[in-house]
């Protein structure tokens, strides 16, 4: 039992220990509070990280954001560098192809919105075949639509070279022009240049009395005793009318031939090619690979595209001068020598040589009194020509060796 007198006699050490323990209590509280704060902060940090995602995800997102800022608002959503697709890299070539089509014969698809497709390696673009009617005939009913001419650059250069060559070597130039016009790479205007050049060259080589030594299609002939133009044409096996010999040799009186007189003769058969799309009748001389174009004429065709197509020959005994004619629709009859006769003064009847046209009757090549119908579709199906042109063709096209091809 502790006495009251003893309580006041505690040693200094005891008092020290009691006072020290009392001072450590606030320090522990502070440490505990600090630990709680640290734990809370850590909990908040990890919670924040959980909400924002892992560091690797943040890195992936940072890439496109940075690139978009560099490229501006027009940057695509997918900003990873990628190679351009074939359609993107080939865009200029696609435009070129469209322009070539516009320059060719087919109507271009103006405003075409078809998605681009990858192009194959560039191939030569062939222009569609020219569809030109003679000037002033744009309103032809049923005629193929014309388009802006777009020529193959190499063909235009070849055309220019051939025209230039005609000044020094017309025989070679004629071959070059023929091959160009047989193709379809030239546009409308340049095809007309080619036809004009053909007519100019052959105005000398074929349709004059001049004989060019290098031309294999012409020759000189000395008139023999008893000769006539008709006899010469027969004995020399010429495929032309005797009137053609009279024409090219400038003979005014066929009965006035002199023995020893020099005449120009043209060898080989003449053939015709109607190009309906161009309203042209082209005349060729010779056969096979040696065949060359010697003339080109504007023509008129059947209304509503009724001129038949295919291979034809001259119908036997149907070449007529100043024929009489009855209109099959109205029955109106026209005597020969009637200046109002719609078929003019020459008729060349045609006979089909193919299954689809062999039974056609009443078709032919003839003149016209309606000159405005040239380059138009106004006939009943026949090929119309200007009076002077049909007279020439009448002398060139013969039975049975000449053929006439009518192409669309």
Under DSSP, is residue 294 helix (H, G, I), strand (E, B) or coil?
Answer: strand
Cα–Cα dist 220/21, whole Å: 149
3-state SS string for 183-247 = CCCCCHHHHHHHHHHHHHHHHHHCCCCCCCCCCCCEEEEECCCCCCHHHHHHHCCCECCHHHHHH
Of 267, 300, 335, which residue constitutes the final position of a domain?
Answer: 267
Of 237, 267, 297, which residue constitutes the final position of a domain?
Answer: 267
Cα–Cα dist 283/392, whole Å: 10
Give the model's pLDDT for residue 7: 42
Residue 111, phi-psi category: left (phi > 0), alpha (psi -120 to 50), beta (remainder)? left
382 and 281 in a common domain: yes
379 and 274 in a common domain: yes
238 and 278 in a common domain: no
365 and 238 in a common domain: no
255 and 276 in a common domain: no
358 and 283 in a common domain: yes
Q: Would residue 200 count as lying in a domain? A: no
343 and 256 in a common domain: no
Under DSSP, is residue 27 helix (H, G, I), strand (E, B) or coil?
Answer: helix
Assign residue 229 the CATH number of its domain: 3.10.350.10
341 and 378 in a common domain: yes
371 and 263 in a common domain: no
Give the model's pLDDT for residue 151: 60
225 and 275 in a common domain: no
Q: Would residue 403 count as lying in a domain? A: yes
Of 267, 298, 329, which residue constitutes the final position of a domain?
Answer: 267
- Domain count along the chain: 2
Q: Would residue 210 count as lying in a domain? A: no
Give the model's pLDDT for residue 258: 96
399 and 362 in a common domain: yes
Q: Would residue 73 count as lying in a domain? A: no
293 and 361 in a common domain: yes
Q: Which domain holds residue 241?
A: 218-267
Q: Would residue 107 count as lying in a domain? A: no
Q: Would residue 371 count as lying in a domain? A: yes
Q: How do the pLDDT tens digits run along the chain, 408 residues long? A: 443 444 444 444 444 444 444 545 667 777 777 777 877 777 776 665 554 444 333 333 333 333 333 333 333 333 333 333 333 333 333 223 322 333 333 332 333 333 333 333 333 333 333 333 333 333 333 333 333 345 678 999 999 999 999 999 999 999 999 999 999 999 999 999 999 999 999 999 999 999 999 999 999 999 999 999 999 999 999 999 999 999 999 999 999 999 999 999 999 999 999 999 999 999 999 999 999 999 999 999 999 999 999 999 999 999 999 999 999 999 999 999 999 999 999 999 999 999 999 999 899 999 999 999 999 999 999 999 999 999 999 999 999 999 999 999
Q: Would residue 277 count as lying in a domain? A: yes
CB 347 within 8 A of CB 319: yes
Residue with tokens 């978009």: 68
Assign residue 278 the CATH number of its domain: 2.40.440.10
Q: Would residue 367 count as lying in a domain? A: yes
Task: Note the pTM of the prediction, 2 decimals.
Answer: 0.65
């Amino acid at each position: 039992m502790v006495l009251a007198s003893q309580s006041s006699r505690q040693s200094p050490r005891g008092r020290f220990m009691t006072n020290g323990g009392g001072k450590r209590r606030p320090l522990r509280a502070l440490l505990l509070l600090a630990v709680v704060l640290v734990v809370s902060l850590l909990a908040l940090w990890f919670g924040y990280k959980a909400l924002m995602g892992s560091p690797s995800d943040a890195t992936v997102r940072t890439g496109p954001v940075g690139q978009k800022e560099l490229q501006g608002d027009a940057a695509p959503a997918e900003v990873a560098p990628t190679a351009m697709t074939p359609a993107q890299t080939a865009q200029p070539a696609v435009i070129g192809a469209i322009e070539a089509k516009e320059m060719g014969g087919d109507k271009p698809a103006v405003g075409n919105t078809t998605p681009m497709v990858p192009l194959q390696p560039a191939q030569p673009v062939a222009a569609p075949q020219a569809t030109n009617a003679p000037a002033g005939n744009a309103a032809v009913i049923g005629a193929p639509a014309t388009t802006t001419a777009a020529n193959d650059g190499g063909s235009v250069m070849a055309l220019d070279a051939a025209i230039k060559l005609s000044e020094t070597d017309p025989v070679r130039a004629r071959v070059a022009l023929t091959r160009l016009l047989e193709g379809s790479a030239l546009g409308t205007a340049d095809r007309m240049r080619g036809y004009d050049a053909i007519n100019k060259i052959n105005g000398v080589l074929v349709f004059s009395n001049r004989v060019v030594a290098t031309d294999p299609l012409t020759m000189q002939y000395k008139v023999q005793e008893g000769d006539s133009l008709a006899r010469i044409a027969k004995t020399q096996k010429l495929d032309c009318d005797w009137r053609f010999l009279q024409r090219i040799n400038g003979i005014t009186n066929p009965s006035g031939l002199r023995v020893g007189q020099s005449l120009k003769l043209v060898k080989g058969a003449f053939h015709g090619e109607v190009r309906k799309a161009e309203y042209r009748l082209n005349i060729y001389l010779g056969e096979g690979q040696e065949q060359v174009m010697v003339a080109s004429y504007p023509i008129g065709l059947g209304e509503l595209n009724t001129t038949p197509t295919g291979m034809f020959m001259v119908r036997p005994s149907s070449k007529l001068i100043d024929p009489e004619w009855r209109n099959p629709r109205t029955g109106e009859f026209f005597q020969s020598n009637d200046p109002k006769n719609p078929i003019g003064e020459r008729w060349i009847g045609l006979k089909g040589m193919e299954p689809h046209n062999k039974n056609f009757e009443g078709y032919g090549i003839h003149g016209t009194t309606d000159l405005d119908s040239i380059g138009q579709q106004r006939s009943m199906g026949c090929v119309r020509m200007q009076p002077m042109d049909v007279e020439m063709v009448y002398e060139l096209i013969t039975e049975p060796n000449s053929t006439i091809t009518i192409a669309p």
